[in-house]
Each structure stands twice: as C-alpha cells, then as structure tokens.
A and B are shown apart, each in its own frame.
Chain A
Amino acid sequence: MIADAWIASLPPGLLLILAGVVLPAARGVIRSAVLLLTPLALLAWIWLLPEGQGVSVIWLGLELTPVRVDTLSQLFATVFAIVGFAGGLFALRQGRTAELAAALVYAGASIGVIFAGDLITVFVFWEMMAVASTLVVLAGGTGARAAAQRYIVIHLFGGVLLMAGIAGHVATTGSTAFDLITGDSFARWLILAGFVLNAGAPPLSSWLPDAYPRASWSGTVFLSAFTTKTAVYVLIRGFAGEDILIWLGVIMVFYGIVYAILENDIRRILAYSIVNQVGFMLVGIGIGTEMAVNGAAAHAFAHIIYKALLLMSAGAVLYQTGKSKCTELGGLFRSMPLTTISGIIGALSISAFPLTSGFVSKSMISEGAVQEHLAVLWFLLAAASAGVFLHAGIKFPWFVFFQKDSGLRPPDPPASMRVAMVLLSALCLIIGIVPSLLYSILPYPTDFVPYTAPHVVYQLQLLLFSGLAFFLLLGFLTRTRTITLDTDWLWRKFMPAIGRLLGGLGRWRGWGGARSGLGRFLSGVTHISGPGALLARSWPTGIMAFWATLLLAAYLILYYL
C-alpha cells in the first residue's frame, strides 16, 4: 500500500527524462525501442494513475506535491505522450542523438509541469524545459547557435520573472499549492508574465519564430508541441478568467497572421501560426467559462497534433530537398504525394475545416464568446479564422506543393517518417469525425454539438470565400526573399548599435585634456566587463576557494562582533 502511494507520487515525466539520459548510450534497435516505447509506456502510466494528489513532501519548509492528477492534467499529458511517440517515430533517422536525448528530457520536463501540484515543482520542470529545448534548437547545426543563445536568454529571463513571482506568492499566501491564482498582488503579475512569455505573447514573442525554424527537420516537431502548450496548461490552471488574456490572445492571433502572410520560409510561416493558434487558446482561457476553457484545452490538444503534422510535412520537404523557402519550392506534389496529402490534412485541420480536429475544438472557443455575448470578440475571431485559412490553410500547401514547378523531384521520405505523418493525419480526421472521443476527456463535461447545419454552412462559406480571396489576390501574395522585422530587431540590431556608439564615445580622444567623466566611466566599464576583461575571464578554482574562505572568515568575524 505504501509502495503504491509512492509510485503514485513519482512524477511520470521522470520516465522520459530517464530515457533521455540513457539514450546516448543506446545503439540500433535498443535506441529505437527507447525512443518509441517510453512514450507509449508513459501513456499507459498516465491513464493508470488514480485521480487526486499523491504524497506531499516537505522540502526546506515548503510543501511539494509532485503529482496531482485530474482530467485537465491527463488531457495534456496524453497529447504530449502521443506527439512524443509520433515525433520520435518521425525522428528515427535523425543522426544527432543529442537532439533526441534532449527532446526526451524536454518532453519529460513538460509532463513534469503538467502533473505538478505545487508552484516549486512547476518552476523546477519549467527551467528544465528551457534548458532541454535550447539543446534541441542547438542541435540544428551551426546556423542555430546564435538563435539558441537568444532563445535561452529570453527563457531564463522568463524563469527569473516566474521565480520572483512564485517567491512573492508563497511569501504572502504561505501556500505553495498551484491552483487558480487570485488577488491583485505584484507577485501574481510576475507569475502571469513568466507564463505568457512561454506562450509566445508579445512583446517578446519573436523568440519563437526566431529559434524554432533553426532546429533540424525533426527538432522543430518537438519544439512546436511542448513549450507553448505547457504555458497554455498553466494559464488554464492558474489564470482562467483573467481578462487581459483575451486581448493578449487577440493581438497574438493577428500578429501571427500578418507575419505569416509576409514570410517566405515555410517553417517560419508555421512558427508564426503557432503564435496565432495559441492566441485563440489564450482568448478561451481569458473568457474563462466552462465552455471557453474546454475550448482552449480541446484546441491545444487538436493543435499539438495538426501542428506537429504540418511541421513533419515541412520537415520531410527539408529532409529531402534541403530547402525550406517558398521561393525555392513548388510543384512537389508530383513526386511527394503522401507528404502533400499529409500537409493538406494538417492545413485543413488548422483552418478548422469541417470533419477535421480544428473544427470541433475552435468552435467551442467561439461558442464561449457567443455565450458571454462578446460580440466584438466573436467577429474578430471569425475574421481571424478566415485569416488562418489564408496564411496557413492554403498558403503553406500551395507554395510548397503546387504553385510554379520548381523542377525538384524528391520522392516521399523514408518509411518511418511516412508512418508518423499517416498516424497524425488519421488522428486529425478521427477527432474531426468523432468529436466525442475528445469531448469525453475535457476538463468539464460538455454536450456541445459542433455539427449543426447552420454552423457547418457558415464555416464552409467563411473558408471557401477566403480561399477565393487567396486565389484572386495571388499576385499580391507572391513571396520575395525577405524577412519581416520583429521585436528581436531591438536586441539584434538596435542595442548592439547603441553599444558600439557608447563604446566609441568611451574611446574617443577628443574629450580634451581632462577626459569627461562619462568617457572615463565607459572605458572603465569596458576595462572591467569587456571581452577578455576582469569580469569576463574564467577564474581558476583556487581563487574561487580563496575568496569563499575570505568571505566565510569575514562572516565569522562579523558574527562574533
């Protein structure tokens, strides 16, 4: 009995983390088995866990509850395990084992957050996710290094916000429990900021389209699933009904569409559309009613599957051709029929076409807006739905698989990648055709019926006439070899320029005989913390030990004084 209680208190995510640690040592069949069987074992574990809280432990005076099981956590953990399996299958031929090991740890850490019953456990797994996902980006090769650096800096900053918020929250409420966070304290806003940063919310949203497309053909599939959707989960858990999320979500929805319309790289298009889709989820969370929260959770579930599918088809194209730009691709339907069909199924799902998973999930968010009589919001969501079909639903398959003939004739990818795409395509359609499968595992019981005649007719009109608009405006949508500046311009161009300017000022000799205080101050800063300077140097351990001893001695003396 006691042993049972302990097993029920062991975070299931540890299984994947452990698998990630042993993976580099495994070869051949064993490597494939670890990659494929652990997510399946985890799926079984998730559904065998009894509902409720596991054992709590006291650590440094804080009460930790590593495992708390309810329908919401089971829903998210289930789809994480599914995409962990499908992503692993897709990535079987990935030669860089470091990426796969990091991906397993990353998936395990996100499942750790999902089952965490207290904020401290959330934070620990949250940071583990940041590190592991950075390694996944880094495995993308030399072009990924700078993006990975920017990625980790932003996520560590988010971690600092979150840690400060949690510390403040625990100090004021005296509770570490992770439930709805109410009140109007500064700590609450810090926690919210830490959470929405990972959701890809503005103004720091550019980390997502900056880093994700730099990962390898298989790495992006993992990245698309975990970080943003873990953020959606913690927002549902801690901030359902928070009004700000509605408008943050609306901004994300339109930001994603606009940038995706202007983008040339297909994986960046799909990255922007992650922000767009997470925006829909934030709207649902912000509305906060049972219908809307169900919608947000259902949409996260559906989205993880169809977005992984879309990135698999883009990844398959990249794997076979080494190219990922609209201007270099086109006409691939001739030689990659299966990848084309998978890409189209994913594109129809993200557009919420009837009979696909997106239709049955996104409808619930719109219904949530209707029930609360949020007319303006409803019209904005409807316009955005049209925009999703435009930027992802047609643009992605059209420019990659149709449009002009690029002359490329790559065959469909190897079997493991094909099977993964077929699996996720099937899931998109099954959920769309039998929505009760998804509805029965949502956080709140629901009797929502997506397939009513007026609703289906309305959706078909909306989407097909958006399609008409796309083809009529095709001349305006032709891609150019350009990028569109985002907020990352601030730290990639603007701040370095300011830095160079100030550095130049510091070294300028024209300050006269007595150099100004500013000039001396700036050269002083360069002297201490510039490249290779005092603060940037790595120190021998001996010096470290010396200073530690000195500090301890000083402390001892002060103590006795």
Chain B
Amino acid sequence: MSDPKAGVEKPLPPDHDHWLVRPRTIAVLWIGFAIVLGLTLVPDLLIDHHAEFEIEGTIAFGAWFGFLSCLILVFGSLALGRILKRRDSYYDR
C-alpha cells in the first residue's frame, strides 16, 4: 500500500529545513496573524451590529466569545479525558 519512494528521512535542523518552518518565518507568521486579528476588530468600531440578542452587541463579541468557548472546550475535554482515557491497545487485550 505505502509507496516505496516514501522514505523516512532524518528531520532537518530548523535552520536548514523548508522555509515555512524556519524560526524567522514563524516569527513573521505570528506578527502577520496578530495584525489580522487586530484588523478583524476594527470594523466593530465602524459598523452597527444589528444584534438580535443583547450580549451579541458587545464590542468584539465574536472574538472574546470564540476564544472563551475554546478555553472551556479544551479544559473541559481534558478533565473528561483524565477519567476516560486509556492506552490505544486497551480493547486488544
């Protein structure tokens, strides 16, 4: 099934690897991401939200609500995982 050409190579040190994963690029990506995040907040100051539900009308609602939801989901999942996680060979025994 797997291709014979699909050899396994030793991972390259970051500075010689693909340009996308060099530390410099990653720093640039983070800065770009921060700028884009900032830009998505700007229109909230300019356009009028026709909020259906009260809280939805708060400034940058999507941003803080999305961020908080993710925090809750991740930590909630991890808490559940502590109880329900097993080694992936659990059912093979």
The answer to whether A and B belong to the same complex is yes
A464 within 8 Å of B by Cβ? yes
A460 within 8 Å of B by Cβ? yes
Contact A469 to B70, CB < 8 A, known contacts A262-B85, A411-B5, A454-B50: yes
Stretch at the interface among A52-60, A99-107, A477-485, A502-510: A477-485
**Residue contact B74 to A261, C-beta cutoff 8 Å:** yes
Taken together as a complex, chains A and B put the C-alpha atoms of A416 and B61 apart, in Å, by 44
Taken together as a complex, chains A and B put the C-alpha atoms of A334 and B5 apart, in Å, by 14
CB distance from A457 to the nearest CB of B (A): 5
Binary CB contact string for chain B from 38 to 53 against chain A (1 if under 8 A, 0 otherwise):
0011011001111011
CB-nearest residue of chain B to A336: B6
CB distance from A364 to the nearest CB of B (A): 15
**Residue contact A465 to B10, C-beta cutoff 8 Å:** no
Taken together as a complex, chains A and B put the C-alpha atoms of A454 and B56 apart, in Å, by 11
State how many residues of chain B have any CB contact under 8 Å with chain A: 56
Contact A465 to B67, CB < 8 A, known contacts A408-B8, A482-B86: yes
**Residue contact B71 to A469, C-beta cutoff 8 Å:** yes
B1 within 8 Å of A by Cβ? yes
- Residues on A with beta carbons closer than 8 Å to the beta carbon of B63: 461-462, 464-465
Taken together as a complex, chains A and B put the C-alpha atoms of A410 and B86 apart, in Å, by 31
CB distance from B41 to the nearest CB of A (A): 7
CB-nearest residue of chain A to B39: A460
State how many residues of chain A have any CB contact under 8 Å with chain B: 64
Contact A465 to B64, CB < 8 A, known contacts A387-B69, A409-B9: yes
CB-nearest residue of chain A to B72: A383
B73 within 8 Å of A by Cβ? yes
CB distance from B14 to the nearest CB of A (A): 9
CB-nearest residue of chain A to B55: A379
CB-nearest residue of chain A to B51: A454
Taken together as a complex, chains A and B put the C-alpha atoms of A331 and B67 apart, in Å, by 27
CB-nearest residue of chain A to B74: A473
CB distance from A371 to the nearest CB of B (A): 9
**Residue contact B44 to A468, C-beta cutoff 8 Å:** no
CB distance from B48 to the nearest CB of A (A): 8
Taken together as a complex, chains A and B put the C-alpha atoms of A405 and B47 apart, in Å, by 44
Binary CB contact string for chain A from 396 to 412 against chain B (1 if under 8 A, 0 otherwise):
00000010111111110
CB distance from A434 to the nearest CB of B (A): 24
CB-nearest residue of chain B to A383: B69
CB-nearest residue of chain B to A371: B52
B12 within 8 Å of A by Cβ? yes
Q: Which residues of chain B in 7-62 are interfacial with respect to chain A, using CB atoms and an 8 Å cutoff?
A: 7-12, 17-18, 20-21, 33, 36-37, 40-41, 43-44, 47-50, 52-53, 55, 60-62
- Residues on A with beta carbons closer than 8 Å to the beta carbon of B43: 453, 457
CB-nearest residue of chain B to A210: B91
**Residue contact A458 to B61, C-beta cutoff 8 Å:** yes
Contact with A457, one of B44, B75, B77 (Cβ below 8 angstroms): B44
**Residue contact B67 to A410, C-beta cutoff 8 Å:** no
**Residue contact B78 to A484, C-beta cutoff 8 Å:** no
Contact A409 to B53, CB < 8 A, known contacts A387-B69, A482-B85, A483-B86: no
Binary CB contact string for chain A from 126 to 153 against chain B (1 if under 8 A, 0 otherwise):
0000000000000000000000000000
Binary CB contact string for chain A from 436 to 473 against chain B (1 if under 8 A, 0 otherwise):
00000000000000000110011111111111111001
Contact A466 to B40, CB < 8 A, known contacts A258-B77, A331-B11: no
**Residue contact B47 to A457, C-beta cutoff 8 Å:** yes
A492 within 8 Å of B by Cβ? yes
- Residues on A with beta carbons closer than 8 Å to the beta carbon of B85: 262, 480, 482-485
**Residue contact B11 to A407, C-beta cutoff 8 Å:** yes
**Residue contact B62 to A462, C-beta cutoff 8 Å:** yes
- Residues on B with beta carbons closer than 8 Å to the beta carbon of A261: 73-74, 77
CB distance from A462 to the nearest CB of B (A): 4
Contact with A262, one of B20, B60, B80, B90 (Cβ below 8 angstroms): B80
Binary CB contact string for chain A from 478 to 500 against chain B (1 if under 8 A, 0 otherwise):
00111111000000110000000
CB-nearest residue of chain A to B64: A465
A257 within 8 Å of B by Cβ? yes
Stretch at the interface among A34-42, A230-238, A317-325: A317-325
**Max chain A Cβ within 10 angstroms of own Cβ: one of B1, B10, B90:** B1
Contact A258 to B8, CB < 8 A, known contacts A383-B73, A457-B44: no
Contact A258 to B62, CB < 8 A, known contacts A466-B69, A482-B86: no
A378 within 8 Å of B by Cβ? yes
CB-nearest residue of chain A to B48: A454
Taken together as a complex, chains A and B put the C-alpha atoms of A469 and B55 apart, in Å, by 21
**Residue contact B66 to A466, C-beta cutoff 8 Å:** yes
- Residues on B with beta carbons closer than 8 Å to the beta carbon of A550: none
Taken together as a complex, chains A and B put the C-alpha atoms of A402 and B60 apart, in Å, by 30
A192 within 8 Å of B by Cβ? no
Contact with A468, one of B9, B48, B67, B81 (Cβ below 8 angstroms): B67
- Residues on A with beta carbons closer than 8 Å to the beta carbon of B75: 476
**Residue contact A482 to B65, C-beta cutoff 8 Å:** no
CB-nearest residue of chain A to B71: A469
- Residues on B with beta carbons closer than 8 Å to the beta carbon of A375: 52-53
Enumerate 26 A-B pairs (CB-CB under 8 Å) in ascending A order. A257-B77, A258-B76, A261-B77, A262-B84, A375-B53, A382-B66, A383-B73, A385-B66, A386-B70, A387-B70, A389-B66, A390-B73, A406-B8, A411-B5, A411-B6, A453-B43, A454-B49, A461-B44, A461-B62, A465-B62, A466-B69, A466-B70, A470-B70, A484-B81, A485-B84, A485-B86
Q: Please list the 7 inter-chain residue pairs (A to B) with the smallest Cβ-Cβ separation, ordered nearest first.
A: A461-B62, A410-B6, A469-B70, A383-B69, A462-B66, A405-B11, A462-B62
Chain B contact residues, CB within 8 Å of chain A: 1-3, 5-12, 17-18, 20-21, 33, 36-37, 40-41, 43-44, 47-50, 52-53, 55, 60-67, 69-78, 80-81, 84-88, 90-91
Known: A461-B40, A468-B37, A476-B78. 13 other contacts (CB 8 A): A262-B78, A265-B88, A319-B1, A322-B1, A383-B72, A385-B66, A386-B73, A389-B66, A405-B11, A411-B5, A464-B33, A465-B64, A469-B67
